[in-house]
Structure 1
Amino acid sequence: MTSATGANIKRLRKERGWSQARLARETCRAAGISGDPIGRQEISRYEVGKRTPREWLPFIAQALGVAVQALREPAKPAVPPLPTLADFLPDGDPLSPLKARSGRQVDAAKVADIQKRVHGLRLADDFLAGGDLIRPALRELRAVVKLYREGKHTSEVGRELLRQIGELAQIAGWIASDAGQHEEAERIYRLGISAAKQAEDNTLAGNLAGSLAYQMANTGREAEGLILAQAALHGAGAQAPPKARALYLDRVAWAHTKAGGAENEQQAMRALGEASEALDTHDQGESPAYLYWVNIGELRVMESRVYTELHRPLRAVPLLRDVLTGYDATHTREIALYLSWLAVALLDANEPEEAASVAERVITLSSEITSERTAQRVNLLLHRLQKYADVPKVSALLAGHQAA
Structure 2
Amino acid sequence: MPYQPPTALPQELLNDEEMQRVLAEHDFGTVFRLARSRAGIPYSRIAEACDLKPARVGELARGEGRVTTFAKIVAISDALRVPGHMVGLAPRPWEDSRLPGNLNSPAIGPPMRRRTVLQAASTAGLAAALPALHRPATPTHVTTGYVGQLRRRTARLRRLDEVIGGGDTFRVYLGEYQTTKALLRDATFTPDSRRRLVALLAEQAQQAGWAAFDGGRQADAEGLYEESRAAAREARDGDLLGNALAFLAYQAPDPQVAVEIAASSCSTITSGTPAGVRALLHERLAWACAVAGHPSRTEKALETARAALDNQVADEPQPDWAAWVDETELDIMTGRCWTELCRPLRAVPVLVRALDRYDDHHARDKALYLSWLADSYVAAGEVEEAAAVTGRAWSLAAGVASVRPRKRLVPVLNQLAQHRNVSAVQDVLQLTAGS
- What TM-score, normalized to structure 1? 0.73
Residue 156 of structure 2: aligned partner: 120
Residue ranges of structure 1 left out of the alignment (5+ in a row):
16-47, 49-73, 83-101
Residue 281 of structure 2: which of 204, 229, 248 is its match?
248
CA distance in 2, matches of 1:6, 1:151: 47
Residue 267 of structure 2: aligned partner: 234
Structure 1 residues 399 and 149: CA distance shift in structure 2, 3 A: same
- Secondary structure of the corresponding residue to residue 171 of structure 1: helix
| Post-superposition offset of 1:236 | 2.8
Residue 79 of structure 2: aligned partner: none
Residue ranges of structure 2 left out of the alignment (5+ in a row):
1-5, 19-37, 39-82, 93-137
Structure 1 residues 5 and 171: CA distance shift in structure 2, 3 A: closer
Structure 1 residues 195 and 351: CA distance shift in structure 2, 3 A: same
1:180 and 2:216 are equivalent in the alignment: yes
1:133 and 2:163 are equivalent in the alignment: no
Range with greater deviation from structure 2 (153-162 or 112-121): 112-121
Contact 2:328 2:357 in 1 (8 A): no
- Secondary structure of the corresponding residue to residue 188 of structure 2: coil
Counterpart residue type for residue 130 of structure 1: G
| Post-superposition offset of 1:313 | 1.5
Residue 271 of structure 1: aligned partner: 301
- Secondary structure of the corresponding residue to residue 251 of structure 2: helix
CA distance in 1, matches of 2:272, 2:213: 29
Residue 328 of structure 1: aligned partner: 359
Structure 1 residues 107 and 13: CA distance shift in structure 2, 3 A: closer
* Map 1:122-161 → 2, pairs under 5 A: 122-161=158-197
Contact 1:103 1:150 in 2 (8 A): no
Residue 92 of structure 1: aligned partner: none
The total of aligned residue pairs comes to: 321
User: Does 1 or 2 have the higher relative contact order (CA < 8 Å, sep 6+)?
Assistant: 2
- Secondary structure of the corresponding residue to residue 125 of structure 1: helix
Contact 1:230 1:252 in 2 (8 A): yes
1:77 and 2:86 are equivalent in the alignment: yes
- Secondary structure of the corresponding residue to residue 267 of structure 2: helix
* Map 1:182-221 → 2, pairs under 5 A: 182-216=218-252, 220-221=253-254
Residue 163 of structure 1: which of 187, 199, 206 is its match?
199
Structure 1 residues 268 and 75: CA distance shift in structure 2, 3 A: closer
Residue identity (%) = 34
Contact 1:134 1:176 in 2 (8 A): yes
CA distance in 2, matches of 1:14, 1:139: 31
Structure 1 residues 389 and 13: CA distance shift in structure 2, 3 A: farther
1:381 and 2:381 are equivalent in the alignment: no
Q: Which is higher, the Rg of structure 1 or of structure 2? A: 1
CA distance in 2, matches of 1:226, 1:275: 16
Counterpart residue type for residue 274 of structure 1: T
Structure 1 residues 310 and 153: CA distance shift in structure 2, 3 A: same
**Higher helix fraction: Structure 1 or Structure 2?**
1
Contact 2:416 2:425 in 1 (8 A): yes
1:351 and 2:382 are equivalent in the alignment: yes
CA distance in 2, matches of 1:117, 1:267: 38
- What TM-score, normalized to structure 2? 0.68
1:281 and 2:317 are equivalent in the alignment: no
Counterpart residue type for residue 164 of structure 1: L
- CA-based RMSD of the aligned residues comes to 2.8
Contact 1:8 1:75 in 2 (8 A): no
Residue 25 of structure 1: aligned partner: none
Deviations 1:239-265 (A, max 9, x none): 4222211111111111111112xxx11
Contact 1:336 1:362 in 2 (8 A): yes
